[in-house]
Structure 1
Amino acid sequence: MKFFRQLLFLQFLLFGVFTSAQDTIQNQSPEKYMIGIAPTPPFVEKSPNGFSGLSIASWEMVNKKLGWDYEYKTYNSLAELLHAVEQGEVDFSINPITVTDQRMTKMDFSQPYFISHTAIAQKKKSNALAVVKNLWSWKFISAILVLIGVIFVFGFLVWIFERKKNPEEFGGKGFQGIKEGFWWSAVTMTTVGYGDKSPQTTGGRVIGLVWMFMAIIIISSLTASIASALTVESINNEINSVADLDRFNVVTVGSSSSEEFLNMYQINHGEVANGASGIAYLVDHPNDLFIYDQPILTYEVERQQLQDEIQVLKKTLKKDYFSYSFPKNSTLIKQVDPVLISAMKTMEWSRLMENYN
């Protein structure tokens, strides 16, 4: 009997300890988690009914298993959101934050839930306008003027030799005779060969022979100059490496991973508030570049219906991994990561990703 009394006492004691521990855990856990977000379409979008987007939908899938009570705290910019995470103003953020070495020293990250790229957006240029612009360039005009001058010199020399002994073809005094010589020189250079004029004197034929060979060289050089003038614009606009960015005025979103990338390669750049303002900036600055996350660039171009004006280049600068972000040494990441990884293996997650790719 004494043994049973002791056993019963022990059960009551264990029940009390268990209840006390459970109360302690509940008291330590917040009633509601604060999740920091900043509008970043198509990942986080504000609507009349709340928030939507890929990041919102992914978190709702994860929270089906976690069952946490939470509320969103909105920030106006990426810089403000990152500062809030670093300072612990929020418990974590589900915004598409790119994992970088610099950020990993200030905060912790979950398993990446989206793979993206840093891309380049620029305003489309009309090939016809580029051709006209180059044809009116001083380099092209000066080449034409030099050519006209050379044609005139050889026409004048032939006229000097032919004006007396071949007056039928090169006759005439002053302007009339020089005009005939200029005509012959131009026809000879272009190898049209009308045959209406031909030198008869020895001096005229020597000039003609020299001019024929020189004309071949000049025509080849002129063709190369024209081709260069017509293609130099497109060559200068090609972007094949980070070094090519130095030829352009570049803007990006402040405090973004794109800005870290530009700073790392010492590329001078300006800042805009977000993806929407960056695309709007390109409309007014047709020669500049906007560098940011590829899916956000593509979405904003389509949302603002600027597909005919703005293009997102296929050439990308780097690969990015989007993750949830947590204050440094947060214990929540150990609870979120396993559930996030499990959710990423489901068909529901695959369908979600397909809707945003």
Structure 2
Amino acid sequence: MIRLLFLFMLFTSTLSAQDTLRIGVAHFPPYTFQDDGGHWNGMAVELWRHVAGEARMIYQMMPYSKDDSLLAALEREEVDLVLAMPISARAEAQVDFTQAFHRSALALALPPTNSLWSVVTGLFTLQFLYIVIGLSALLLIVGSLVYFLERRSNDDQFGGERSLWQGIGSGFWWAGVTMTTIGYGDKAPTSLPGRAVAMLWMLVALAVTSSLTAAIISATNASNVIEFPRELKQKSVGVVKDSPAAEFLQSRKQTFTPFQDVQEGLLALDRDEIEVLVHDATALHHQSRVNPNLRAYVQETDARPEAYAFAVRENSPLYEPINQAVIAITTTSAWRTVVDSYDDGSRSAKSSQ
């Protein structure tokens, strides 16, 4: 309570010459955006309302179009504070940033699911063929070993009148059935060496089955995960115009298609006009969630990390009290709940389905 009173006193003394703060804001979801009624919402807006509410501040939202520079507006003293500005060394030379209230990085938006046809065609690739050949060779080795151990003591199931290849075939069948845990029970080793091999194979088969599942998913393209940024060279890529993603890809000489906003890029992804949309992870998660018809699988990366904060003019008397309020609010569990409501994928890449 004492801390809030202190902040209030700082704010009121700061605002003695000006009763209404001018807050610069632009369309930048999920940090700042307008709803259908024209009201401003978003992660940064909610934080500001908490800050202003604690100090009972009077303020006015000053909207700017996407092409306008909020940084320039702040320098021209058209606004007193800017919401949701990405922290950069260049901007820091011109303004003062408060404590960052959110951090993000680049991510990839990929088609959420693959069609049945794409999975079927994945079965006819060299990668899947290599899996089949490798697994068959392993089953053949185990089956042959069991056959040679069992052919004399287990005539009914492995030996007897069977030829060499028929016996090995019986062992191959047993190894496959055992690995898949189907357990028909039509064949089973009876000798001590045969049972020892069978027990060892059961344990090994657990690891083989797990690895096989992942390998088949990868081979059939059932997973959308790609190696970033190397595999982008083989993809048709989209980015939002003049975004950090565009700058990052330009520095790597990656060709891409620019879009006006995230929604337009996700729409192009949905129409198969591009294969990957590269943008801020938080924005992709948010847009994928609020646009049911533009769902996407979001694969996060560590590339081009960004931190977002409020910005005021250099040496502004507003800096200290606002910064203290931001720190006080963003270190609470309540703020974590606010962040999760806008960035529900902030800790792991996941598919919105």
TM-score range, shorter chain: 0.5 to 0.7
What residue identity is the alignment partner of 2:309? S
The number of residue pairs the alignment matches comes to 243
Cα displacement string for residues 155-206 of structure 1 (whole angstroms, at most 9, x for unaligned residues): xxxxxxxxxxxxxxxxxxxxxxxxxxxxxxxxxxxxxxxxxxxxxxxxxxxx
CA deviation after TM superposition for structure 1 residue 25, in Å: 7.4
Q: Give 1:335's aligned amino acid.
A: P
Offset of residue 281 of structure 1? 2.5
1:103 to 84, 87, 91: 91
Aligned partner of residue 43 in structure 1, secondary structure: coil
1:100/1:240 CA distance change after superposition, 3 Å: farther
State the match for 2:42 in structure 1.
53
Matched letter for residue 341 of structure 1: I
Contact 1:36 1:74 in 2 (8 A): yes
Secondary structure of 1:313 counterpart: strand
More helix by share: 1
Alignment of 1:130-209 (within 5 A): 130=118
For residues 303 and 236 of structure 1, what CA distance do their matches in structure 2 show?
A: 23
Secondary structure at 1:340's aligned position in 2? Answer: helix
Deviations 1:227-280 (A, max 9, x none): xxx978849975323233233333322333333333343433333222222222
Q: Secondary structure at the match of 1:33?
A: strand
C-alpha displacement of 1:71: 0.6
1:26 and 1:79 map into 2 onto residues whose CA distance is 27
Alignment of 1:246-265 (within 5 A): 246-265=233-252
In structure 2, how many angstroms separate the alpha carbons of the residues matched to 1:236 and 1:83?
A: 44
| Residue of structure 2 equivalent to 1:336 | 322
Displacement of 1:59 in angstroms is: 0.5
**For 1:105 and 1:264, how far apart are their aligned partners in 2?**
23
Is 1:278 paired with 2:271? Answer: no
- Aligned counterpart, 1:321: 307
Structure 1 residue 120 corresponds to structure 2 residue 108? yes
- How many Å separate the matches in 2 of 1:242 and 1:79? 31
One-letter amino acid matched to 1:295: T
CA distance, structure 2, for counterparts of residue 280 and residue 113 of structure 1: 30
Tell me by how many angstroms 1:320 deviates: 2.6
Contact 2:105 2:302 in 1 (8 A): yes
Give me the whole-angstrom Cα distance separating, in 2, the residues matched to 1:134 and 1:79.
47
Question: Deviation at 1:291?
Answer: 1.6
Amino acid at match of 1:353: V
- Partners of 1:266 and 1:60 lie apart in 2 by 42
Residue 89 (1) aligns with residue 78 (2):
yes
In the TM superposition, residue 341 of structure 1 has moved relative to its aligned partner by: 0.9
The amino acid that maps onto 1:57 is E
CA contact (8 A) 1:79 1:255 kept: no
After superposition, the Cα gap between the structure-2 partners of 1:271 and 1:106, relative to the gap in structure 1 and judged at 3 Å, is farther
- Residue in structure 2 matched with residue 39 of structure 1 by the alignment: 27
1:316-341 CA distance string (max 9 Å, x none): 53433221123455443223111211
Residues 283 and 82 of structure 1: CA distance in aligned 2, closer, same or farther (over 3 Å): farther
Give the 3 Å change call, closer, same or farther, for CA 255–330 of structure 1 in structure 2: farther
Letter of the 2:310 partner, please give it.
Y
Does the C-alpha gap of structure 1 residues 135 and 112 become closer, same or farther in structure 2, counting only changes over 3 Å? closer
Within-5 A mapping of 1:206-245: 234=221, 239-245=226-232
Cα offsets for 1:97-148 (capped at 9, x unmatched): 32233433443321001122321112246354336668999x9xxxxxxxxx
1: CA distance, partners of 2:285 / 2:308: 17
* Equivalent residues of 2:27, 2:65 under 8 A apart: yes
Aligned-pair CA distance for 1:35: 0.9
Distance 1:233 1:84 in 2: 52
Give, in whole Å, the separation in 2 of the partners of 1:355 and 1:231: 32
* Counterparts of 2:274 and 2:281, CA distance in 1: 19
Q: CA RMSD in A?
A: 3.8
Partner of 1:67: 56
Deviation per CA, 1:51-103, whole angstroms, max 9, x where unpaired? Answer: 222211111111123333211111231664344345443222112x3223343
Query: Gaps (5+ residues) in structure 2?
Result: 1-12, 127-216, 345-353
TM-score (norm 2): 0.57
Q: For residues 267 and 78 of structure 1, do their structure 2 counterparts lie closer, same or farther at Cα, with a shift above 3 Å needed?
A: farther
User: Structure 1: which 5+ residue stretches go unaligned?
Assistant: 1-23, 140-229
**Contact 2:237 2:274 (8 Å CA) reproduced:** no
